Amino acid sequence: MTYRISILLFLTFLVFSTGLGQTSKPSPTPVKPVTGPDDVVKTSTNLVQLDVVVVDKEGKPVANLQPDDFEITEDKAKQAVTNFSYVTLGSSVTISQPDAVNTKVAPAPIAPEQVHRTIALVVDDLGLSYESIASVKQALRKFVNEQMGSRDLVAVLRTSRGMGSLQQFTTDKTELLAAVDGISWFASGRSGLSPNAQIDTQTGEEFTQGQQIINEMEEARAAQYSVGTIQTLSRIMRGFEELPGRKSVMLFAESFKLFSSQGRNVQLLDSLQRLTDQANRASTVIYTIDASGVNPLDMPASDNVAGSTYTFDPAVVWSGTGGGPSTVSRPRNRTSNQSVDAPGSLSAQAATDSSMAFRRLEALSQQRENQSNESKTVLSFLAEETGGTFTQNANDLSLGTQKMLQEQQGYYLIGYRPADTSIDPATGQRQAHNISVKLKRSGLRLRTRSGYYGIAEKSKPTMPLTRDQQLAKALLSPFMAGGIGLRLTPIWGNDPAAGSQLRVLLHVPTKDLNFSAQPDGSQVAAIDFLAVSYGSDLRVVDQFSDSQTINITKDAYQRMVDDGLVFILNVPLKKAGPVQVRVAVRDAKTERIGSANQFIDVPDLTKNNLALSGIYLSGAMPAQPGETSPTAEKKTEKQEVSAGPAVRRLRHGMILSYSYTIHNARLDDSKRPQLQTQMRLFRDGKEVFTGKPLTFNPGQQADMKNLDAGGRLVVGTSLPAGQYVLQVTVTDTLAKAKRYATTAQWIDFEIVK
């Protein structure tokens, strides 16, 4: 399947915007005290740097310590501190109150140096039970809505997907919430309905051997799934190496098996060791949460824990009373398959049976407790070895994420120079080293890493990336490549005949491309495209790649120097749900690359709920009375182009126009909708203008299920220059379910001087 692409390269081709070269880039906000993005927890032959978190008895960070307050040993040998600083990352929690309707907007792109915290929220759905999924999703929603900050780079990852792709990291809360909604119980995973594995001890004699084989197969499958979880975390670590600064992983998990009837899960133990080593090299701290919460470890009705079962023959009773047949076959215990001597009465048999049953229950209870401890051992090991914390016995799982953020308000960056034995001089291979950091002050607690591997500093030749590798790297990065200043605008729409589709407007500044003059005065440039759309399961919905040679006449080139190029990609959509669009563009001559991405949630019109299409926004300067000269007409045309839907850069005095489509409005007895619309403007997340609620008049439109709507606004001087968001809210007064009576849509734009 390929994109339907309309590349408008004949210059008059609806070039909607001026070049972005006139837009001043915002100054990055540095972290104080200033440290380089790569100055966190690096190990080499001549320097080891550790990130050390120190908290008081209440768990609050302590930021006033000095180098003399720490004692560092490597392989039991004391080390002298040569580098010391405290890195502040800002407030631990940012609380945002939910609105009655969705007023959240896409955040501005963030530069690497502006990132405060990089956090991967990993949900081990390979091992989570059905009961635990709900509490995990509740904790994740609370983290996104109330705890994460505007400069936190976050991803919600699932281990069943087998991938830890960088394209999932974002600052967009709407995108993260959509990822949370996509989490569901993985029925074929290693856990069932409850965190505790169901116990079934009542098996007939003829099925004992078969049941043992089934149990061993289940144990082997659970062991492999446990290794799969750790391997997924390992892939996340490899991706983390591309990201700046100190990174964190919050793992929601349960149900790890270290032992089975066949012995230790050696593969899991090896994977755990490799993962912690990899996390330390990637400057990543792993925090873990036992998703089972407060687990009573009792035996519910679903467990079949009947005691030993016996088959009695009436002759057993008769032999005790002197009557009945003189020769009877002795009953056999179904569980042990051993013969049972007939007692003189049933009371002795019952006492023996009861005693065995209680011993069996005690053993099964101990078995369940051991299984729980195995899982907690794995989670505790991951946290302890990487400097994180393990949260257990908490039904409110958000306490674990809150503790993580609280600790990450700041940390000490402590460096020392190890001995030359970090590298084996004979083999040149790295050696493992154990690190111990202690505090000389009392009443404080610290967490850091437990060791590192010495890595030889050798100049490794860097292989140049191919064209496809360059584009793929830019496409998957959570940061926008800035070599070419792209602007991406995906607008969803639905046509009764063609169905749902995204119209993706891509603006490319002409100044960022390398044009070469030709003998006839024309200008030529060559560019490469890579565009990919991902669905809610992070699988590729559609993709397009191409190379284009742009040949522009001399006159047209002069106009395009300011206006830039606009490409339109039409992406058909087969199903509703979250869609992430990512585009990378490369100049073939200079190899400069630009990338952009945006998330959009496509409504499901088959549910017949109220929905809005994307918004087209543009601006135009009204013609002055009596202005009819060619100069005035050219000026008006130019300003309309610069304020088109692809870039949306408006000036004071312009008329802002916006249009959209209302889908699935309810109709009254006269077959007319009863809708109210309202427009709001936001700047820096704050509402700066609220329009009056207006009764929508459909006029003479024929299709009442797909209504065209819109409005106009004069951009007055009371609105200072800056970034804005226009939000449209529509309420259907005829909707029966109030939950679906109101919906909203938004579009960003800029006011320039």
Please enumerate in sequence order all residues whose Cβ is within 8 A of that of 285, keeping only pairs 6 or more positions apart, or say none.
51, 246, 247, 248, 249, 279, 386, 387, 388
Backbone angles phi, psi at 705, to 5 degrees: -85, -15
Backbone angles phi, psi at 123, to 5 degrees: -105, 115
Confidence label for 561 from pLDDT (cuts 50, 70 and 90): confident
CA 543 to chain centre: 21
Stretch among 321-335, 587-601, 685-699 having the lowest mean pLDDT: 321-335
Residues 505, 488: contact at Cβ < 8 Å?
A: yes
> For tokens 């925090």, what's the residue?
287
Give yes or no for residue 10 having a pLDDT over 50. Answer: no
* Length reported for the chain: 753
Longest dimension (CA), the chain: 129
Q: What is the mean pLDDT of the chain?
A: 75
**Predicted pLDDT of residue 419:** 72
Confidence label for 451 from pLDDT (cuts 50, 70 and 90): low
The answer to whether the Cα torsion of 476, 480, 486, 491 is positive or negative is positive
**Predicted pLDDT of residue 217:** 63
| Alpha carbon distances (Å) from 530 to 56, 137, 156, 597 | 50, 34, 25, 12
**What CATH number belongs to 116-300+366-406?**
3.40.50.410
Give yes or no for residue 425 having a pLDDT over 60. Answer: no
* CATH class of the region 48-89+410-453: mainly beta
Domain spans, the chain = 1-44+465-602, 48-89+410-453, 116-300+366-406, 604-753
Give the pair of three-digit tokens for residue 740.
Answer: 């679906």
Give yes or no for residue 459 having a pLDDT over 50. Answer: no
Superfamily grouping for domain 604-753: SOR catalytic domain (2.60.40.730)
Higher pLDDT, 488 or 112: 488
* pTM strictly above 0.85: no
Confidence label for 198 from pLDDT (cuts 50, 70 and 90): low
33 upstream amide cis, omega within 30 of 0: yes
Query: Within 13 Å and on the Cβ side, how many CA atoms surround 570?
Result: 11
Q: How confident is the model over 349-365, as pLDDT tens digits? A: 555 656 665 666 666 66
Q: How far apart are CA 720 and CA 303, in angstroms?
A: 67
The number of beta carbons lying within 10 Å of the beta carbon of residue 419 is 12
Confidence label for 659 from pLDDT (cuts 50, 70 and 90): very high
Give yes or no for residue 102 having a pLDDT over 60. Answer: no
Domains 48-89+410-453 and 604-753 share a fold: yes
- Determine the straight-line distance between the first and last CA of the chain, rounded to whole angstroms: 44
**Predicted pLDDT of residue 230:** 85
Give the residue-averaged pLDDT of 148-157: 85
Residues 658, 747: contact at Cβ < 8 Å?
A: yes
Residues 268, 369: contact at Cβ < 8 Å?
A: no
Higher pLDDT, 398 or 366: 398
Q: How confident is the model over 290-307, as pLDDT tens digits? A: 988 876 656 555 555 554
The number of beta carbons lying within 10 Å of the beta carbon of residue 696 is 17
Give the residue-averaged pLDDT of 270-287: 85
Q: How confident is the model over 217-232, as pLDDT tens digits? A: 666 667 777 887 888 7
With respect to CATH, is domain 1-44+465-602 assigned 2.60.40?
Answer: yes
